[in-house]
Amino acid sequence: MATRLQSQSSGQKVGMRNSQDAISMMQTAEGAMDEMSNIVQRMKDLATQSANGTSTTEDRKAMDAEFTELRAELDNITNNTTFGGQSLLKSGTGFQGDVTFQIGGTSAEKLELKSTGTLATALKEVVGTGKGTDGAAVKVGISDQAKATASMAELDIFSQKIGESRSAFGANINRLEHTVNN
C-alpha cells in the first residue's frame, strides 16, 4: 500500500511539473503572438497613412520599406519562436499539429490539443499558407494607394485572427492553471 501511494504521489508531482512546463510553453507562444499583434498594428498604421492622398511617392517609399521590414520580423517570429528546441508557430509544426501534455500520473490525465481544435485552427489563419504575412495584399506592400488600401483590409483580418489565437492560448493556459491549483 505504501509503495502504491508513493508511486501515486510521485506521478502527481511529475504531472504538476509537466503542467507548469505546458503553461510556460503556451505563454511563450502567446507572448510571440502579442508581439505580432503590436507589429500588425504598426503595419496597419503605415498602410492607412500610405492610403492617404497627402502622402508623396517618397513618403510611400519610406513607409513601404518599414512595412517590408515589419513583415520580415513577423516571419522571423513565426519561424523562430521555440520552446525547448521545439518550433511553436511555424506552419505545420508546434501548436498547428496534435500536442499532448501529460498532466497527471495516469495515462488518462492529459490535455490534448488537436490539429482540428480551436487553437490550431485559429493559428493556421495567422501563419498558414496564403494567410497573415503570406497574404497577397500584405506581400505586395504599400507603395501606392491601391496596394495600401488592400493591405488595410487584409491586416484587419490578420489582427482579428491573432486575437482569436491569443484567446485560445489564454483559455488553455487557464485550464492548465486550474489543473495545477486542484
CATH code: domain of residue 103: 1.20.1330.10
Q: Kindly give the confidence (pLDDT) of every residue in the chain, 182 residues in length, as a single tens digit, with 9 standing for 90 and above.
A: 656 656 566 667 888 899 999 999 999 999 999 999 999 999 999 999 999 999 999 999 999 999 999 999 999 999 999 999 999 988 777 787 888 999 888 888 888 888 888 888 888 888 877 777 778 888 899 999 999 999 999 999 999 999 999 999 999 999 999 888 87
Domain encompassing residue 66: 2-181
pLDDT at residue 132 in the model: 79
The string over 4-13, giving b where at least 16 C-beta atoms fall within 10 Å of a residue's C-beta and e elsewhere, is: eeeeeeeeee
Residues with Cβ within 8 Å of 71's Cβ and at least 6 positions away in sequence, in order, are 43, 133, 138, 139
Q: Say how many domains are in the chain.
A: 1
C-alpha cell at 10: 510521485
pLDDT at residue 7 in the model: 56
